[in-house]
A and B are shown apart, each in its own frame.
Chain A
Amino acid sequence: MVAALLGPALVLVAAFVVAPVGYALWLSLTNKTLTGFGAQTPKFVGLANYRQLLTSGDFGHSLRLTAEFIVFSAILGQFLLGLLAALLLTQTGIRLKGVFGGAILLPMVVPEVVASLAWASMLAPGTLGTLNRGFATVGVDPVSWLQRYPMAAIIIVNTWRGIAFAMIMFQAAIEGISREVLEAARIDGAGVWQVLRHVTLPLIRGPVFLFLLLTTITTSSVFGLVYFLTQGGPGQQTQVTSIYIYQHSFRFFQLGLGSAASVILLGIVLVLGVTYVRLARVEV
């Protein structure tokens, strides 16, 4: 009975998620490619792909960019702004909470290519780009954001897109804190900052860690948002690991190399994933 009920779902997951993981391991040991003479006879090459990845510098560069992307957009940007939004929107007596909450939700709700498209105009170079117009009012000269500061640009875009997720997680956690505890702390003369530091934050520690882990995992594989705006460029300045994998696999068709890069990314994510599964401490 269990097999009949659960089997089909598991087969699908096994075929399209688990099997590719195993297959990636095998492909990463070959020089599989789709063009050139090598395409007809893929060979087993041992760890050559890994050696190339670890010595070439390009892949290391992509890992560093990914780390930078995660630290600034997910761990700092989304966390701080999401926490701020959650704290403000859980205060009593704030009007139009639904409207504000909805506005902050919008970036997360829309498909990622729409999010990128919206920012294409924001970040457009020259005096007419929306951001440049905004900065012009305080006397800043127009900047070609995606060319001069491409990493900063995609970090801002990803922060923007992820505020809502942080907000939702924290809002739920803060609403779970008893009002009396907060009120009592305030009456004891604690300032806003002290309440936050000594009462609220310790009480929502669990969700905070969970959020940081989850956002790290999802941010490590963000693809469309960045690819749409920069395709990894200029040069390789925004070639985060997910883009590195795509470019090498589907532009240069070095599928063996791309698979090796996938395996490394996968290894890192799974370490985080196991931590997440343990931390989630779910009842089963």
Chain B
Amino acid sequence: MRRRHDLTVFGVLLAVAAGVTACGGGGSSSANGPVTLTLLEYQKPRADAVAALLPKFEAAMAAKGKTVHVKLIRDILPDDQFKTKITQEYNAGDAPDVTDYGATYIPGFAGAGYLLDLSSYLTKWSDWQTFFPQVRKQIVQPDGKIYSLPHEANTQSIFYRADVLQRLGVSTAQPKSWPELLARLEQIHAKTGKPAMVLPAGTAWGDGTFGEGFLNVMLGASSQFYNPNDKKWIVKSPGLTQTFGLYAELVKANILPVQALLNPEPWQPTKYVDFPKGVLPVAAQGTWGWRYDWGPQGSAPIPGLFQKVRTWGYPALDGGQPYAVSSVGFEYEVTAKTKYPDQAVELAKWLSSGSAMAQQLVAVGAAAPRSGIEQIAPYSAQPYLVATEKQFATSRSFPPRPGQDQISQAVGQATEAILTGKSDGPSAATAFAKSVGELLGPDQVEGGS
């Protein structure tokens, strides 16, 4: 105890010393004094886009008589490493003032008290009403508050190589049902002898397995997955069994690239090599594919992208109309411990408006989550993005909920067992229910485990 105490004192002294040196430049937080905000970006295209915008923000603030500097922290990381890092920083209380990440992380961080409640700022902001109602609804957290400002939206659908399908003599009409789609995929497989469709599955794809694959299929079933009234997940349902069953069928018919999905970075050989080559002509993909993956500056450019690639909606398991899945993309968050909440929110708002938003949307290939951007260059020159906005009204969606990390983890493991042939559909569904029961406990799972 004594030693621990000494060390604490030592640590405090050290922290004070660090504080003194850091404060040398005059860190007084008076309302009009110069303010330096930190902004963290962890994906290169976003960091590049934002870096170009920040001087304009500073100029805009200067025009209002405020001196606000923004220090951009670039830490280019894969999602899981980023999440580890930012969680640690929040927990230690030294996270940057403003951060930028996907909607799925927010329930966990908001729940832990790491994020600033933006509700009152947003209700006072006239632009807020121009954000699409579906978007505004999706980001409300279970406590009724809003902790993030979405600056992009996207839809996910089934992308296919129209040129390849035509060459193979496979119909490119929208499939109305999964049996119809399966029949086409089998046709492709029969002609090429290779896997026909990449649908994220297994653990190597990380959260993508849930958010870019499983969930999209599952939303076509009529079963409820989360009960917002008692805030519990429903982990046993016909819809879940159907969805796992579908994965098993895809594996059995050799339609999924099983070996690639089991590799680390499974998107590499599939989305970045075989789809661009036309060898693997069907892929579950989101709006970002147009830019981030296959655009001219993307990871694996496809020349003539807009002639060669088209999209289908997901066929519904419940017999409804095929649908796209809409979701909120990256959002700006302000850390609860920021010294300059007003300025930080100002930065988030500025980056989510007008030309600044338009440029970021084009950089990553996302649709605007609000009206009023469709006329602004360079976004206005990207008809496929603007068209995405129109899909929102008929799309299906599933806002991130607390416990989704664990759900995502369990889906990864259950689908992995299907990939390796250890499970069939029903046994994967059982294993999934069991493992979620263990991971989340009876407080968050309906019917207990």
* Interfacial chain A residues near B111, Cβ < 8 Å: 35-40
A60 part of interface (Cβ distance < 8 Å)? no
Closest Cβ of chain A to B82, distance in Å, is 11
Closest Cβ of chain B to A260, distance in Å, is 14
* Interfacial chain A residues near B107, Cβ < 8 Å: 36
A254-B364 Cα distance, complex, nearest whole Å? 33
Assess whether A235 is in contact with B416, with CB atoms less than 8 Å apart. Answer: yes
A109 part of interface (Cβ distance < 8 Å)? no
Assess whether A15 is in contact with B262, with CB atoms less than 8 Å apart. Answer: no
B30 part of interface (Cβ distance < 8 Å)? no
Given A37-B402, A144-B259; A236-B113 close (CB under 8 Å): no
Given A234-B262, A251-B80, A252-B405; A34-B112 close (CB under 8 Å): yes
A242 part of interface (Cβ distance < 8 Å)? no
Given A14-B3, A251-B83, A253-B87; A231-B264 close (CB under 8 Å): yes
Assess whether A234 is in contact with B416, with CB atoms less than 8 Å apart. Answer: yes
Assess whether A233 is in contact with B420, with CB atoms less than 8 Å apart. Answer: no
Assess whether B406 is in contact with A234, with CB atoms less than 8 Å apart. Answer: no
A117 part of interface (Cβ distance < 8 Å)? no
Given A147-B262, A234-B204; A251-B112 close (CB under 8 Å): no
A252-B410 Cα distance, complex, nearest whole Å? 12
A253-B202 Cα distance, complex, nearest whole Å? 21
A221-B420 Cα distance, complex, nearest whole Å? 28
User: Which of A11, A36, A146, A236 is B403 in contact with, Cβ under 8 Å?
Assistant: A36
B60 part of interface (Cβ distance < 8 Å)? no
Closest Cβ of chain B to A28, distance in Å, is 17
Contact with A along B416-427 (1 / 0, CB 8 A): 110010000000
* Interfacial chain A residues near B108, Cβ < 8 Å: 35-36
Select the residue from B80, B84, B406 with max chain A CB neighbours within 10 A: B84
Assess whether A15 is in contact with B7, with CB atoms less than 8 Å apart. Answer: yes
Assess whether A15 is in contact with B3, with CB atoms less than 8 Å apart. Answer: yes
Interface residues on B, range: 35 or more
Assess whether A235 is in contact with B438, with CB atoms less than 8 Å apart. Answer: no
Contact with A along B172-212 (1 / 0, CB 8 A): 00000000000000000000000000000011100000000
Interface residues on A, range: 20 to 34
Contact with B along A120-146 (1 / 0, CB 8 A): 000001000000000000000000101
Assess whether A147 is in contact with B259, with CB atoms less than 8 Å apart. Answer: yes
- Please report which residues of chain B, range 242-273, place their CB below 8 angstroms from some CB of chain A when the two chains form the complex: 259, 262-264
* Interfacial chain B residues near A11, Cβ < 8 Å: 3, 6-7
* Interfacial chain A residues near B262, Cβ < 8 Å: 147, 233-235
A230 part of interface (Cβ distance < 8 Å)? yes
A252-B206 Cα distance, complex, nearest whole Å? 12
* Interfacial chain B residues near A56, Cβ < 8 Å: 435, 438
Closest Cβ of chain A to B167, distance in Å, is 26
Contact with A along B69-108 (1 / 0, CB 8 A): 0000000000010011001101100000000000000011
A19 part of interface (Cβ distance < 8 Å)? yes
- Please report which residues of chain B, range 370-421, place their CB below 8 angstroms from some CB of chain A when the two chains form the complex: 402-403, 405-406, 409, 413, 416-417, 420
B residues with a Cβ closer than 8 A to A are: 3-4, 6-7, 80, 83-84, 87-88, 90-91, 107-109, 111-113, 202-204, 259, 262-264, 402-403, 405-406, 409, 413, 416-417, 420, 435, 438
The 25 listed contacts between A and B (C-beta, < 8 Å) are A11-B7, A19-B4, A34-B88, A34-B90, A34-B91, A34-B112, A35-B109, A35-B112, A35-B405, A36-B108, A36-B112, A36-B403, A37-B402, A39-B111, A39-B112, A40-B113, A147-B259, A147-B262, A230-B264, A233-B262, A234-B264, A235-B417, A235-B420, A252-B406, A252-B409
Closest 5 CB pairs of A and B: A39-B112, A35-B108, A37-B111, A235-B416, A234-B262
